[in-house]
Structures are given as C-alpha cells and as structure tokens.
Structure 1
C-alpha cells in the first residue's frame, strides 16, 4: 500500500484536465477492492467516471461518506517552474491537482483502506470520487441519479482548507441573460430594435438588486456579478442579439427557484434568464454534535484552533448533501485554497500526512472502531 505522498504523486502524474478521470479511478479502485470495498464506477461520458465504494453499509447506522473529485483545471498559459505532473521539493509536492484536490482524494482513500482492516461496531464507510466537478459537478449529479440510492450519514468533502474545518459554502447560480431584437442599418436605427439597449437596461437594474435579507453571520451577504456581455455583429448595424452571463452567490436559507423568479421580474419581459449552473449553498451548524466532534479531532491532530468559517468556492456537497437528505457536511482537506488553479500549484507534505490521520480518526469515530 503506498503512503499518502506517493499516492498523491501517482494521481498528479495522470492528466485529468477536464477529461480522463477514469484513469485515476483505475489507480484507486484496486486499492479499495483489495481492502474489501464494493466498488462501482459509472461514466457520464466516455473516460469520465465517478466511483462509489461501500464498506459495511448494511449496518443500522448510515455510513460516513468521504468525497473528492479527480478532475483538474488546465495548466494555464504561464510556464511552470516545477513539473506540472508531480515534483517533490522539501515539504512541497508540486503539480496540477496537488491541492485541488488529488491530495485530499489520496488521503481519504488511504484512511478508508486502513479502517477497512478493522471491524466496525456501529457504521461503515462510503467513498464518492467524482469526475467533472470543476465544470458544474456533473459527476456528482450522475452519481446521485444512478449510484446513490441508499441512506448516508455525514459527509466530508476533502477540498483544500489547509486541514481547517469549514462548515459550508455559498451556492452558485450562474445565469445567461438573453435579449433579442431586429437588425437594421446603423444609419437608420429607428427601423430596428436594439437588443443591446434592452440588455444594458436589464443588467443595470439587476446590478442594483437588493436580495432583501441580512448577511449570514459566517457566509456574509449574497452577491451578484455580471461577468460577460456580448452583442452585435458590426458597428453599422442595429444588434438583434445580446447576451450576458451573471454569477449569483447565495447563502444558507435562500431558494434558487425563488431567486431566479425575482431576478426575472427585475430584468423585465424583454430579457430571458436561463440557468447555466445551479448549485445550492451548504451549511452545517458548527455547534452540532458531529461537527463539534470533527473540530475536536482536527484540533488534536493539527494543534490549531478552529473557528466557524465558510469556503469561497463551491463543492460537490451542493449535489451530494441534498441527495443524502441534507446530512451534516464539513469541508476539510490538506490543500491550500490559495493554490487552487494557480501556476506551480503545490500541497504541503505535512498537511497531507495530517489529513490522512484526520480522516482515519474521523472514520474510526463514526464507525466506532
């Protein structure tokens, strides 16, 4: 059995930039099967697999679920100083996905295989290792629809937090705003119907939208940002089409369907709003029994004080938490959030080793080993 650094390095060595996640699963599945897990892999498109592994999930208490994604983002245009598919330099393991989040995946797999050598008294384990998280949690959605038909206990997402406990994150509601009109010669605009004017008026109103609720004590307020806008074919024509994309970040307690309806009213009848990404917020009370137990274990391992916090990014928990009936969820992983998607991405070896121990202790605590 490899150690956590070696396994992370093996995963980093595989190019899974928005494709080929099944190759990473071919490394991980045998480790889990050898440990006694029942492993199922389903692809939502060729080469893009999501893995579900179950161990003693027939016990009366639902299993603890550990999850992470194996896809990564592109390397970017800037030249890397370190090998982008794995280079060890002191306490830093460099490579795309080291922090986000192949290090976290390696840690949960190795922790789970160690626990599987024991006999649980209360509950088993479930691992969900997903494809296509970076492009809207498509792998998690596929798993929720086709693989996850049994109850689950609490959920741990091993996204990068430097091993701090994070109790949730904002939701992401990305929208396309479309306005249409009638084209005409630019010297005779009265003969046309300018789609850009319609869209500009709508997004000006949207920019001033008041969500009408107090900020969340940890997450802060919901936000809205117009990210892109395009329209028209040439300067001397009236544009008959204009489109913008809008990034809405929501907080616990908000309903995306209600938000979309409200924003459609603000935008007006001349603009059509269409969801592109719809991932709800996730929040777990830090004072809950399981959340407090997690915080205690993490403190014991890292020696660092913990406080309630929210991630700035979204995770597969937006899909998996509601799929499991709103189970308590925390985010905790060895990567550094600031290293996600950057050139010369790295993860601390110390954090990797801590993370494997944290997950092993979380599993032992839930399973009563």
Structure 2
C-alpha cells in the first residue's frame, strides 16, 4: 500500500517541456480564481456557449463541438460505445494507439490491429488494403494522430480520405497531444470524431477534453440500441442545443481558464499557431540530428513532441535530473521500459517558442557536455 506523502506547497517552479501538461499563461491560471457559480445559471450558459463556439471558430469546423470534464481517454471509450457494433480496426504504432485498441477490447468489441513497428507511421494504402480485404466490414477505423510515445505524426488526412470511400465505416482520431498545435482540416478529410486534452497543445490546465463530432457520427449513434451515457454524442449535443450547457456538472474553473486561453488562441490564429509549432519542431529536430538522432520514420515526425534517439548513450535519467536541479527545466525520458534510456522526448507545444526550446537544449548540452 502506498504511504501518504503530504503536499507541502513549497515546491520549486519548473518549466515544463514534457509531452503534457505544458506551460499555462499566468492570466489563464488567474481566470480560474473567480467566485463559484451554479452550472444551471445563465452565467454558465454564457461561459459554455462562448468556449464551444470559439473552439469551432478556431478549428475552422462546421461540425459540432463538445467540451467535457474528462481526460481525452473518455472519448476513446465514448466513440467506441457510440459507433461500434462489433468490429473496429485500430492502427497501432506506439503505446497510445495500442491503448486505444485495448480500450475497445475491454468494451467487448472485436478488434483487428494494423500493426507497425514503434517509430513507423501508419500508411494510408495499408488501411485501404485492410478495408478491402475485410469480410465483415469495420464499423470504425481508429488512429492516433500524434503518437507521443514515439514522436510519430500519422498522416490522418490521407487516411481519412481513404476511409471516406467506405461510407459505413467511421473514422475516429485521437489528437490528444496535437490538436491546436498541428493544423488539420477536420471537415475536408472525413474525420467523424477527433478529440484532444486541454493540457496539451491547447496550453490549458488539465481536466477537459474537446471533441469534434460529424453529423454522420451523431446520426450513427441514434441508430444504436446502446451508447455511452456520459460521453454520448446525442446526450451532450442535444443538451447544448436545448440549454447551452453541459448535461452534468462541469469543472467550471477550468472552463473559465479555457475561455481565456481560447481568446488568446483566436488572437494568434490557427495558421500562425501551426507555423510557430512547426518552427519549434524543425529547430528541435535539427538540434537532435546534430547531437543525437531522431527516432521517428523520416517525414513523419511530430509537430508537438520530438522523440530523440540516444545515439551517444548518455544517462537519460541522470541528465533529466541534473537539468531539473540546475535549470528548473523538465523534459521526458523515453516511453516505457523499451524506450526509457534509448530515447528521450521534448514537448514543444502550447505557449513555447523557438527561444524557450533553445534554452532547454542549451541546458542539455551543458549538463551532458555535448
């Protein structure tokens, strides 16, 4: 049994360069410090309709948007329950895509995997081949846009174009660690469900997930005899249409932070935010290739999380500890036992820029004597 470790409030502040949570603006944090109000008051309607409609504007989508108190994991479960009768095809090329498949299995669905070696990207032509070969047909194709365990960015636009040729199959995308930091035209590529987590590229406190739902996905749920209660598309969207609120009590302070940050994101603009993230990713990859190497398949590198191959054999854990102690910067080791010392990861998302990423890489150079 785990012993209690008392929270003491005297910790040193650390700048976060991990795959999430990431840095949050001070005024966004301060926005949470407002007197509490009821989730059925008109003030809540003003708040929730603001964040929903601002999100639709930022993402440039005509599809419906749900902002729910949960982690992004909720919509792994909800999308599976809402859309899958029996068969789902999960493209797996890292820890989180494999976890997506595991969730579907735990929910009793028949899961086929389109498996790739970690570090390799999902290929659209392979998805088409599996869809063509299927005897039963798939209710859903599930894919992770940004496999943060390996730093791979899967080509979901091209995959979506493939799935669109199969009108009885729905395309579900986990964009937990990329949406808001890597532009995707949701409506143009037949993406039926795409969701994120607030603490990643949106640069908000943890606790909310944003999900974009197509009309086809909504109608599909209406046809099913059972669906998710908490994350049901019908339940969430119908309540919004009637009341402009959430069906269950939300995390109001985090929604206040969401409102503040989304205004910043609208001011910057989606295209400019994408450009800034691309510049950070390009800088980090160039630095990695100068001193180490990059782990992902060439041409499929993430725009928000770089996975760097430890070709020098440095002590990754010791380097992370030393950078944290000497500079108060925190970055991540490789994911799990397979990649723990073989790679390390730098999160360049949210409110970071090239200069703040350079501060981290300079610190790593100093500590590791590069």
The two structures share one fold, judged by TM-score above 0.5: no
Structure ranking higher in strand proportion: 1
Which one has the bigger helix percentage? 2
Higher Cα Rg, which structure: 1
TM-score computed with the length of structure 1 as normaliser:
0.23
TM-score by length of structure 2 reads 0.23
